[in-house]
């Protein structure tokens, strides 16, 4: 048996199939780059600021006007209109004129002076997550300040203590928060570090499952195995290595766009992330191959890859903190390669910690290509005895 001949035939067949279908070019190069550019340009301005909000001041007192001035000073909100009633402000939110409003009840100052614990309220439209989060921070901060202002007003009115003493009582220890390696609180640095690789992983999963599943669907699987001399390893390598090369180059191009053109933090040796991208591509290809080995059917295998790829946006990213998920859902997120690449990008690119502390994530990506090996026999048996439903 001429192993070199069969190896060359398997590689040749993989290249021929690659160049014959335009879908490969679109899904392996065009779509990942367009998605990456869209997300990076969408969040290029950093965090969301100046969200349009309204104010309902039913008190019209010096205290309520002071609270409104504090709210107007917040970077995350922009007061564009005042409303006379709760109903009119609610209608403005529903029509999209504003995305939230701050409500100060009638007799706010009088209730504060009489120590009746008045309440201020705020209402937020969470249909838009990022603007809603910006509103929440601003409204929450002003609410806390309003509580302190009310207490200060009451104590000042009693005349028992002076203004400086009141401030010391309300805030005995002044704290300052500093975001490490992202002092601008730029959402792009956090979100795109996960969303962009998630999109790339989704395309890798879909193309890999499509490439293998098409052999089963169109009845060419026996020819595929025969061209490799009956070796499943040669057949897989011949089909996958061109994909690996193209996806890796696409991944490196995306990294270049992220870290050089859009200026995302790269606080480590660039080779740390370059190698991580190569391992990331291999890991996702291996995961898709594993799904096809478990379910050697074009429809079911591609569906599984699509399902896991879409769920990784929530389970493996910053969109939903893993600590808040149910334990079994959090555990499900650990089976996806994108999670480990995401943690690597945070450790290395964003925080720039020593490579030693990220060794587990590199090791996890290296393990993925080994997972399908015990099940290649199952896929080979299905290829030699195809039953497509």
Of the pLDDT bands very low, low, confident and very high (cuts 50, 70, 90), residue 369 is very high
* 278 and 130 in a common domain: no
Please report, for the domain that includes residue 64, its CATH number.
3.40.1710.10
pLDDT over threshold 80, residue 324: no
CB under 8 A, 24+ apart: contacts of 248-253: 248/277, 248/278, 248/281, 250/28, 250/29, 250/32, 250/33, 250/200, 251/32, 251/200, 251/277, 251/278, 251/280, 251/281, 252/277, 253/33
Of the pLDDT bands very low, low, confident and very high (cuts 50, 70, 90), residue 167 is low
* 318 and 219 in a common domain: yes
pLDDT at 194: 85
Of the pLDDT bands very low, low, confident and very high (cuts 50, 70, 90), residue 45 is low
pLDDT over threshold 70, residue 90: yes
52-76 tens-digit pLDDT: 999 999 998 888 888 888 888 887 7
pLDDT over threshold 70, residue 178: no
* 93 and 16 in a common domain: no
* 286 and 166 in a common domain: no
pLDDT over threshold 70, residue 367: yes
- Whether 332 maps to a domain, the answer reads yes
302-311 tens-digit pLDDT: 899 998 888 8
* 241 and 273 in a common domain: yes
pLDDT at 86: 92
Residue with tokens 């169109």: 218
pLDDT at 312: 84
- Whether 175 maps to a domain, the answer reads no
Of the pLDDT bands very low, low, confident and very high (cuts 50, 70, 90), residue 173 is low
Percentage with pLDDT > 90 across the chain: 36
- Whether 389 maps to a domain, the answer reads no
Tokens of 372: 């399908």
pLDDT at 119: 82
User: Which parts of 21-160 fold into alpha helices (H)?
Assistant: 22-25, 31-42, 62-72, 86-95, 108-113, 129-158
pLDDT at 284: 96
Question: What is the average pLDDT across 31-51?
Answer: 82
pLDDT over threshold 90, residue 365: yes
pLDDT at 164: 57
* 30 and 60 in a common domain: no
Of the pLDDT bands very low, low, confident and very high (cuts 50, 70, 90), residue 172 is low
* 84 and 195 in a common domain: no
Last residue of a domain, one of 170, 200, 226: 170
- Whether 178 maps to a domain, the answer reads no
Q: Which of 53-57, 165-169, 321-325 has the lowest mean pLDDT?
A: 165-169
* 215 and 297 in a common domain: yes
Range of the domain at 126: 51-170
Of the pLDDT bands very low, low, confident and very high (cuts 50, 70, 90), residue 381 is confident
pLDDT over threshold 80, residue 185: no
- Whether 65 maps to a domain, the answer reads yes
* 259 and 151 in a common domain: no
pLDDT at 166: 53
CA-to-CA separations, 312 to 36, 69, 127, in angstroms, rounded? 16, 42, 21
Last residue of a domain, one of 170, 197, 224: 170
Domain count, the chain: 2
CA-to-CA separations, 388 to 24, 209, 361, 366, in angstroms, rounded? 23, 15, 38, 33
* 115 and 196 in a common domain: no
Let me know the angle formed at the C-alpha of 283 by 384 and 4, rounded to the nearest 5 degrees.
50
Last residue of a domain, one of 117, 135, 170: 170
224-234 tens-digit pLDDT: 888 888 888 88
* 288 and 235 in a common domain: yes
- Whether 141 maps to a domain, the answer reads yes
- Whether 181 maps to a domain, the answer reads no
* 208 and 355 in a common domain: yes
- Whether 80 maps to a domain, the answer reads yes
């Amino acid at each position: 048996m001429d192993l070199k001949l069969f190896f060359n035939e398997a590689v040749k067949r993989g290249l021929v199939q690659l160049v014959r279908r335009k879908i490969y070019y679109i899904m392996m190069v065009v779509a990942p780059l367009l998605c990456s550019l869209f997300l990076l340009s969408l969040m290029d301005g950093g965090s969301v600021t100046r969200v349009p909000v309204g104010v309902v001041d039913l008190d019209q007192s010096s205290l309520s006007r002071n609270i409104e001035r504090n709210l107007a000073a917040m970077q995350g909100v922009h007061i564009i209109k005042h409303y006379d009633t709760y109903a009119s402000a609610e209608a403005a939110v529903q029509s999209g004129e504003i995305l939230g409003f701050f409500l100060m009840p009638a007799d706010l100052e009088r209730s504060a002076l009489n120590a009746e614990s008045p309440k201020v309220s705020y209402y937020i439209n969470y249909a838009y997550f990022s603007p809603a989060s910006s509103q929440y921070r601003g409204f929450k901060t002003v609410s806390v300040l309003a509580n302190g202002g009310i207490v200060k007003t009451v104590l000042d009115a009693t005349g028992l203590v002076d203004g400086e003493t009141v401030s010391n009582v309300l805030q005995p220890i002044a704290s300052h928060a500093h975001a490490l390696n992202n002092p601008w609180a730029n959402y792009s640095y956090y979100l795109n570090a996960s969303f962009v690789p998630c999109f790339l992983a989704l395309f890798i999963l879909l193309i890999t499952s499509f490439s293998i599943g098409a052999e089963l669907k169109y009845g060419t699987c026996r020819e595929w195995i025969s061209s490799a001399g009956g070796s499943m390893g040669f057949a897989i390598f011949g089909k996958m290595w061109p994909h690996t090369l193209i996806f890796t180059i696409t991944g490196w191009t995306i990294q270049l766009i992220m870290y050089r053109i859009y200026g995302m933090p790269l606080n480590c040796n660039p080779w740390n992330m370059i190698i991580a991208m190569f391992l990331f591509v291999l890991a996702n290809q291996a995961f898709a191959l594993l799904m096809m080995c478990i379910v050697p059917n074009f429809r079911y295998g591609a569906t599984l890859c699509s399902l896991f790829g879409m769920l990784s946006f929530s389970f493996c990213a910053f969109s939903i903190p893993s600590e808040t998920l149910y334990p079994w859902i959090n555990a499900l997120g650990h089976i996806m390669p994108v999670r480990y690449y995401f943690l690597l990008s945070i450790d290395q690119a964003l925080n720039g910690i020593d490579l030693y502390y990220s060794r587990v994530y590199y090791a996890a990506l290296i393990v993925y290509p080994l997972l399908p090996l015990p099940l290649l026999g199952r896929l080979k048996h299905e290829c030699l005895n195809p039953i497509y439903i």
